[in-house]
Structure 1
Amino acid sequence: MSPVRIRASELEGRGWLNTGGAELNLEKLRGKIVILDFWTFCCINCLHVLDELRPLEAEYSDVLVTVGVHSPKFEHEADPVALAAAVERYDIHHPVLDDPELITWQAYSARAWPTLVVIDPEGYIVSHLSGEGHAAGLASFIPELIAEHEAKGTLHRGDGPYVAPEPVIRDLRFPGKVLPLESGNFLVSDTGHHRLVEMGPDLTTVVRTIGSGTKGFLDGAAEDTQFNEPQGLALLPAELAATVGYDVVVADSVNHRLRGITLTTGEVRTLAGNGIQRLLDAGPARISDDGASASESDLGTAPLEVALSSPWDVAYSSKCNAVLIAMAGTHQIFSLDPASGALAVVAGNGLEGLLDGPAEQAWFAQPSGLTEDAKGNIWVADSETSALRVLKFADDGAVTVETAIGEGLFDFGFRDGEAAQARLQHPLGVAVLPDGSVAVADTYNGAVRRYDPATKTVSTLARGLAEPSDVLLDESGEVPLLIVVEANQHQLVRLPLPKNALQVDEGAVQTQRPKTPVAPGELTLKINFAAPTGQKLDDRWGDPTQLKVSSTPPELLLGGDGTSIGLSRTLTLNADVPEGILHLTARAAACDGPEDASGEIPDHAACHLYQQDWGIPVILSADGAADLVLDLRGV
């Protein structure tokens, strides 16, 4: 019997971007292969997918149309002005549907960011994919669709509906982070121009640029070198800098590398990273009992051979004698020892969420800002949990993680007062103030907030800013001031430290996503995964799949939690807990091949690790579903 064909639902939302003002629908896209990319601009995994799709969009520009469906997680992301800025910031060259009410999201049963849905030229759904890392599979699937529909006469070649917006010329374009230099100048990551800019003390005079301004990867002289969306900057101690031969470490986010800058010459070198995003391992993609891929267990002392994932900020740690790295893509804190080149994981087990405790067991969610205080603690802006976290280093070498502000992946808001009730919204930057309190660039609230560790209270220092991405204490003048990187105004501004901070309470909010009705008692969980054409599950070391399950609150699960191999599980839900969130992480390893009749994967085959994290809001109901089926990969 032929499989049931499902007609794609219409694309509905508030409006369109990158179409020259035209409204699109599926009828206008008939004859094209369409990829719906369900994304939200806060999500690092979504940004990875944007980059994964670019080569496919270029190669198949006459037959393939990507449509970004922006379905916001945070309240700020529902602002159409903020969305338009994000589309410009990330150089999105395809139409984008603004879906603030999640109408199209629900029509396509999306459950996670990112989700990809492939629609064939006749308007039928032919693939439903969750997570990232699907470029290789799509690269083999798209030619199959082209051949099929050329034979049927249903494929129409020609230009797609994308209309490029008018370019805008600026000195800075979506700046990310700022670093004070001993000269009194400031080094700024000019993220949108893919370069670094040294600014004078007035924060407007351009002293020099480092980087050609062309997106790419190239070491060498200041005028030739290339970056790809550089972010964090860290200055090494002078003695160490003299030893290693460079002064500044740069988090080159989209290149998945760390770069080193020699300030006297502007010369750039690569310090760590092989340019491959960490989810895609170069060797056999084994999965160990603790949930790490085999290549994660020992990062070693060959930093140029190690895969990194969207390093977003860097800070020198006097306790570690190393540069700490906010590895946003893997939800971890790494370290780089400049003297030896050794890389290590300092905190985070790679799972996305908010969990305190010993560093190796802690969960982060897209850490994006780092700073050290006078005690050697490292404060972390943990953006996706809207949290302020702190790493504390004991004399015996133990590292623990604590949360100062924040509740979880779906909890945010704008509320001052007691830290336990205070709320942030996707913070990206942190700085320590003269009194030991911590300033936070509360990005999606357009504010700078202050956390006082002594009183465990939160206040507001400034508001009305356009997506502040970093904050810096400036003590160069008679009185200390704040320097704020105002990303969406493409500028740096100085602000006074107010004597009496504001007290704001605009409430606490939870991400509004539809809750899935499930029945109490046993719930059958199944994750669908099919290896792409040309790949095979890598079973050379046993079952190459893994599923980790937990819940908020923990009492929701009476059984079935924990980590084990396989992509199916029976959960037991507590009838006394009316609702909660199921946290699921699925992984599967597949390798290219087989190439011969033996069916064995060749030793030299490239291997790929597929992963997706879900936070599924559920509500318990007697007539709810007794099973939950999700797609990690459904080609």
Structure 2
Amino acid sequence: MEWLNTKGPLELKDLKGKFVLLDFWTYCCINCMHILPELKKLEQEYGNQLVVIGVHSAKFDNEKDAANIGEAILRYEIEHPVVNDDQLKIWTTYFVSSWPTMYLIDPEGNVVYLRRGEFQAEEIQQVLNAAIPYYRQNGTLNEKPIEFDLLAYSQEPTQLRFPGKILADEASNRLFIADSNHNRIVITNLEGELQDVIGTGEIGSADGDYASAQFDHPQGMALVQDTLYVADTENHLLRKIDLKNKKVATIAGLGRQGTSNETWPGMGANPTVDNLPPRYIGTPKTTAINSPWALWPHEDSLYIAMAGPHQIWKMKLDESEIGPYAGNGQEDIVDGPLLPSIPYQQGFSSFAQPSGLTSDGKTLFVADSEGSSIREVPFNPRASVKTLVGTSKLSSARLFTFGDVDGTARRAKLQHPLGVCYVDGVIYTADTYNNKIKAIDAKTGAVKTIAGTGKPGTADDPAQFDEPAGLTHAGGKLYIADTNNHLIRVLDLETKQVSTLEIKGLKPLPVKNRPQAVAGGNAQ
């Protein structure tokens, strides 16, 4: 099998004397993303006793490719070996049935612990703290450190690093770029000339001026007059940036991932009043949120693609309340009324990792990535969620039906789209895992590829992309966050010509350096 983040293949016998944690994951999965920080905590605390092995068992076809897995390793800043289990051989051997799943193997080679789903580092710490003295006393614990040859050590500095979302404002001639892996927001004009950089580049959550503020892998943005709202995704926060006074402030979230019990804030109104959906609301600064991914302003509210709990949330712009707007919290592609009266109740709308938002002023269009679908969410709270393109009408496998097919809404298939942008009756879509930009008729759902060969690359003619994730529009052009290429691309909607935006004045940030050799360590 193909191994990444290490010099060569590993076998369990190579790791005799170590605790080995097998993390079965796939890089599209939000639940898998959530446990990566927990794994990092364990690796830092038990660096001499524990080795984590990522077993990448793909869901989507695009995720089977080792080069794409390598990009995901870099994007998520993974510091342990990963094996490409593209044929699900290890998955089958260990009887795995869902992502993520974790097995802990002891220094003698015995499986001693199993955990399905998300978990906190403290849970595994308790197991290790209880077990380490036993194996240490028996002399079977190898506590010599191991250094792995990480992909990060071979990277070249780039101006942008895995840009996720992008927002153009034609009126002010500004382009806002979520420079996600540089943990900052970059502002240029529409021609690419640098205007400002917001954030130190270091992971953190500090508020303050542009030079001292910090973010953690920000994604979606929304502009309301002179305020830029930011989905600070891995901080599980919403931030707002005063563009006049150049100040960053936190307006929602607790700085940690909201749990499933916190998906539903307190009931703020009787669900039967005026036949409106129930209102689960809390105060923004005291309500835990979970992986906000995209934002859209409408009237007096900010709509949020909350990828973690598979819902659309809504926050008043006066910051008085926040809570779910659509989605019963179950991961699925199901149409129906916006919200249930009882959390997770069947018969109501379901989403699957919503990751992109746009609107025609009447309807909110959602890139529902895990179901490879484009959804319609009404601003009218009495109306129901519908699917424009996707899998909602299937009786089964709604989250596992995908492809690269243009045509009518009934025939068309997408593969994990992350971005949408409405322009004059057309929803332009970043069909991320197909490496294409597609145009969807907002009324009929008919799909047509307008750029991208399907093969990853950086060519302008014929156009190639590598997992594009964000789209925005200004002056007859689409601006595209070409994530794995670390570039911003420009698609002229009239000529269909693609070019690469040159960002003038932005300095690359340093890359991760290879550490000095550890005495007694083994390079892998």
TM-score (norm 1): 0.70
Match of 1:28 in 2: 14
Give the superposition deviation at 1:429: 0.5
Counterpart contact for 2:24–2:55, Cα < 8 Å: yes
Give the superposition deviation at 1:280: 6.3
Structure 2: how far apart are the matches of 1:128 and 1:231? Answer: 33
Kindly tell me: are residues 265 and 162 of structure 1, through their superposed partners in 2, closer, same or farther at Cα, counting changes over 3 Å? farther
Q: What SS does structure 2 have at the residue aligned with 1:420?
A: coil
1:392 and 2:378 matched: yes
Structure 2: how far apart are the matches of 1:459 and 1:37? Answer: 38
Alignment map for 1:20-59 (pairs within 5 Å)? 21-59=7-45
Q: What letter corresponds to residue 424 of structure 1 in structure 2?
A: L
1:443 and 2:432 matched: yes
Which structure has greater strand proportion?
1
Counterpart contact for 1:222–1:265, Cα < 8 Å: no
Match of 2:291 in 1: 310
Structure 2: how far apart are the matches of 1:82 and 1:187? Answer: 26
Kindly tell me: are residues 283 and 495 of structure 1, through their superposed partners in 2, closer, same or farther at Cα, counting changes over 3 Å? closer
Give the superposition deviation at 1:261: 0.5
Match of 1:96 in 2: 82
1:206-229 CA-to-partner distances (Å, cap 9, x unmatched) read 322100000121111111111110
Structure ID, larger Rg:
1
Match of 2:388 in 1: 404
Structure 2: how far apart are the matches of 1:493 and 1:469? Answer: 11
Match of 1:159 in 2: 145
Match of 2:312 in 1: 333
1:218 and 2:198 matched: no
1:262-303 CA-to-partner distances (Å, cap 9, x unmatched) read 1123311101000221126589999xxxxxxxxxx9754421
1:177-214 CA-to-partner distances (Å, cap 9, x unmatched) read 111234312110000101111123223x3322100000
Structure 2: how far apart are the matches of 1:145 and 1:160? Answer: 20
Counterpart contact for 2:451–2:496, Cα < 8 Å: no
Q: What letter corresponds to residue 423 of structure 1 in structure 2?
A: K
Counterpart selection for 1:180 from 168, 180, 185: 168
Structure 1: how far apart are the matches of 2:352 and 2:231? Answer: 18
Unaligned runs of 5+ in 2: 267-277, 340-347, 392-397, 453-463, 498-524
Counterpart contact for 1:273–1:306, Cα < 8 Å: yes
Match of 1:493 in 2: 489
Aligned length: 458
Give the superposition deviation at 1:52: 1.5
Q: What letter corresponds to residue 304 of structure 2 in structure 1?
A: I
Alignment map for 1:271-286 (pairs within 5 Å)? 271-279=251-259
Match of 1:611 in 2: none
Q: What letter corresponds to residue 136 of structure 1 in structure 2?
A: E
Match of 1:233 in 2: 221
Match of 1:18 in 2: 5
Alignment map for 1:288-367 (pairs within 5 Å)? 300-318=281-299, 321-360=300-339, 361-367=348-354
Match of 2:345 in 1: none
Give the superposition deviation at 1:312: 0.4
Give the superposition deviation at 1:393: 3.0
Q: What letter corresponds to residue 422 of structure 2 in structure 1?
A: V
Counterpart contact for 1:196–1:210, Cα < 8 Å: yes
Match of 2:185 in 1: 196
Match of 1:626 in 2: none
Q: What letter corresponds to residue 147 of structure 1 in structure 2?
A: P
Q: What letter corresponds to residue 429 of structure 2 in structure 1?
A: V
1:237-257 CA-to-partner distances (Å, cap 9, x unmatched) read x3xx6xxxxx01100111001
Counterpart contact for 1:299–1:306, Cα < 8 Å: no
Alignment map for 1:509-524 (pairs within 5 Å)? none
Structure 1: how far apart are the matches of 2:18 and 2:260? Answer: 29
Match of 1:265 in 2: 245
Match of 2:519 in 1: none
Alignment RMSD (CA, Å)? 2.1
Q: What SS does structure 2 have at the residue aligned with 1:231?
A: coil
Give the superposition deviation at 1:366: 0.3
Sequence identity (%): 39
1:469 and 2:453 matched: no
Q: What letter corresponds to residue 240 of structure 2 in structure 1?
A: G
Counterpart contact for 2:168–2:190, Cα < 8 Å: no
Give the superposition deviation at 1:359: 0.9
Q: What letter corresponds to residue 183 of structure 2 in structure 1?
A: H
Match of 1:454 in 2: 443
Kindly tell me: are residues 57 and 500 of structure 1, through their superposed partners in 2, closer, same or farther at Cα, counting changes over 3 Å? closer
1:25-76 CA-to-partner distances (Å, cap 9, x unmatched) read 1011111111100111100000001112111110111111111111110011
Give the superposition deviation at 1:134: 3.8
1:335-364 CA-to-partner distances (Å, cap 9, x unmatched) read 111214310211001100110010112110
Counterpart contact for 1:62–1:158, Cα < 8 Å: yes
Give the superposition deviation at 1:488: 0.9
Kindly tell me: are residues 378 and 362 of structure 1, through their superposed partners in 2, closer, same or farther at Cα, counting changes over 3 Å? same
Q: What SS does structure 2 have at the residue aligned with 1:137?
A: helix
Structure 2: how far apart are the matches of 1:82 and 1:185? Answer: 31
1:488-519 CA-to-partner distances (Å, cap 9, x unmatched) read 11111111225799xxxxxxxxxxxxxxxxxx
Kindly tell me: are residues 282 and 150 of structure 1, through their superposed partners in 2, closer, same or farther at Cα, counting changes over 3 Å? farther
Counterpart selection for 1:122 from 104, 108, 132: 108
Q: What SS does structure 2 have at the residue aligned with 1:54?
A: helix
Q: What letter corresponds to residue 320 of structure 2 in structure 1?
A: G
Counterpart selection for 1:136 from 122, 127, 135: 122
Q: What letter corresponds to residue 304 of structure 1 in structure 2?
A: K
Q: Name whichever of 173-182 and 38-47 sits farther off.
A: 173-182
Q: What SS does structure 1 have at the residue aligned with 2:333?
A: coil
Q: What letter corresponds to residue 426 of structure 1 in structure 2?
A: H
1:80 and 2:66 matched: yes
Match of 2:194 in 1: 206
Counterpart selection for 1:416 from 387, 406, 431: 406
Counterpart selection for 2:423 from 433, 444, 459: 433
Structure 1: how far apart are the matches of 2:236 and 2:209? Answer: 20
Give the superposition deviation at 1:102: 1.0
Give the superposition deviation at 1:418: 1.0
Q: What SS does structure 1 have at the residue aligned with 2:404?
A: strand
1:381-411 CA-to-partner distances (Å, cap 9, x unmatched) read 00000000011233xx414110011112000
Give the superposition deviation at 1:166: 2.3
Structure 1: how far apart are the matches of 2:167 and 2:204? Answer: 23
Give the superposition deviation at 1:160: 2.3
Structure 2: how far apart are the matches of 1:267 and 1:393? Answer: 31
Counterpart contact for 2:335–2:384, Cα < 8 Å: yes
Structure 2: how far apart are the matches of 1:214 and 1:33? Answer: 31
